[in-house]
Amino acid sequence: MGKTIVGLEVTEESVRAAEISLGRKPQLVAYGEVPLPPEAARDSEVLDSGAVAVALRQLWTGAKFRSKDAVLGVASRRILVREYTTQAMRPDLLREALPYQVQDLLPVPASQAVLDFFPLSQDGDQVSGLLVAAVSENIEQIISTLAKVKVRAQAVDLAAFGLARVTAPLASPEETVATVSIGDHTTQVVISRGGVPLFVRLLPIDVATAATRRHNAEAVEPELELAAVAAGNGSGTGLTVPSRTRGSIRAATPPGVSDLAARLRSTLAFFGSRAASAPLSRVFVTGAGAAVEGILPALGAAIDTPMTIVSVGDVISMSTPPPAGEVALNLVGTVGIALGEAGK
């Protein structure tokens, strides 16, 4: 087997990783997920470095990852992603100027932020794109925790960019599509064309996934909490959900479902209301929250665009037994993070 890279995510409930082979046709060769104890982490933030390091060590051992090189995917309600226009200049000069230009937009001093700018278009001497800002202390804390278990962070990527990347082959290059990853506490929405992200929103909404129920109840046996998720027998579903799903939505919907449906509808409507926006042809839905009872009927009733549920088997071939259930949904984004490095 050739060289591999590991895509890694740290959430409040777990550490999750997927190892893929590098080359023209990447394959998923290993994956795993290890639950975290309460108060060890938040989405993309380490609170207890020792506890997270223990989980990472168990993750690498249990999943039998060959590589110690990882791409860290971040997705948190504390990460700023917004459209931004600035004067066109060389990338190195823009990196130097950006902290001074965007200081008023940041919740922390520019010296305490990690900044990135993803250019999308240029009109004359003005370039427009997506500004991404994260608190540098949070990123440094994760990287230092990885170093404790000798895992090398080769890059840090916005997880939403990975979602746009991984679902690109599911649509034609001309289609404008939305990919929605429903996480335990943060739902990521990225609208893209040909794998290029055009619009990103991070929605802070708690969803009662199996992981959050387990995490809150603390009811799982210790030996199971520390075990990497075992492989199942399923693969990608590719299930298509019609828009405006017929039938009534259950009155007693789980917490967060109605809020999620309303905010997702308003997010897509906001994008569609802009003069230069192309209409969405479809919405890809993934993440553990997609498996929560009531979510899909609620989204189907709120969104006019046809939805397709995407599992990891739909986006990458595998040389390992395929995952099942929520793991197969969560790994879509994790694989997308790794694919950024695989494509270089």
> pLDDT, tens digit, for every residue of 66-103?
999 999 999 988 899 999 999 999 999 999 999 999 99
Using CA atoms, how far apart are residues 228 and 241, in angstroms rounded to an integer?
A: 31
The region of weakest confidence among 181-190, 242-251, 276-285, 314-323 is 242-251
User: How far is 103 from 282, CA to CA, in rounded Å?
Assistant: 36
- What is the spatial distance between Cα 197 and Cα 332, in angstroms, rounded to a whole number? 16
Phi-psi region of 191 (alpha: psi -120 to 50; beta: other; left: phi over 0): beta
The answer, yes or no, to whether residue 244 has pLDDT greater than 80, is no
SS3 200: strand
> Looking at residue 2, what is its pLDDT?
63
Indicate the average pLDDT of the chain: 87
Amino acid code (one letter) for 176: T
Distance CA 161, CA 198 (A): 10
Instruction: Please state the rounded mean pLDDT for residues 121-125.
Output: 92
Determine the pLDDT at residue 324: 87
Spell out a b/e string for 260-275, using b for 16 or more CB atoms within 10 Å of the CB, else e: bbebbbebbeebbeee
Structure tokens at 71: 């791409």
d(CA 250, CA 102): 45
Q: At 299, which amino acid appears?
A: L
pLDDT of amino acid 211: 84
Q: Are residues 117 and 161 in contact, defined by beta-carbon separation less than 8 angstroms?
A: no
Ramachandran angles phi, psi of 129, nearest 5°: -175, -160
Q: Identify which of 178, 168, 144 has the alpha carbon closest to the alpha carbon of residue 72.
A: 144
